[in-house]
Amino acid sequence: MPKYISLIRFTEQGIKAIKKSTARAHAFDEAAAKAGVRIVGQYWTLGQVDGVLIIDAESERAALHLLAELAAEGNVRTETMPAFVLSRSSRLMPGFRASPAVMITTSELSV
């Protein structure tokens, strides 16, 4: 199943409701499960991004739909990219020895 990595940034609304962040994360887990998307990892981070989300989705469409719903709530903005493991990367780019990730979409929806 394809993996996607999303960089998460809180909006002003999300920062004001930071204490509800873990409850929103659990609700996102449930929404992902209903959409057939598996959460590989959800991490809060320090620095330029506030979190990192790693998911497995059957298709770009499933990933985009789930992440668009997340962004539509107005608490976060996401920057999402597909992730490729080394074996697939070497087929895509012969001679390349790293695992590339290529940005495909940025959501900046606000409510």
pLDDT in tens, 35-80: 999 999 999 999 999 999 999 998 889 999 999 999 999 999 999 9
- The CA-atom distances, in angstroms, between 48 and each of 44, 66, 70, 96, 97 are 11, 23, 20, 28, 27
Non-local (6+) Cβ contacts of 91 within 8 A are: none
- Which two structure tokens, joined as six digits, stand for 46? 């320090």
Q: pLDDT tier at 96 (50, 70, 90 boundaries)? A: low
What pTM does this model have?
A: 0.76
Contact partners, residue 73, CB within 8 Å, separation at least 6: 24, 111
- CA–CA dist 10, 13 (Å, integer): 8
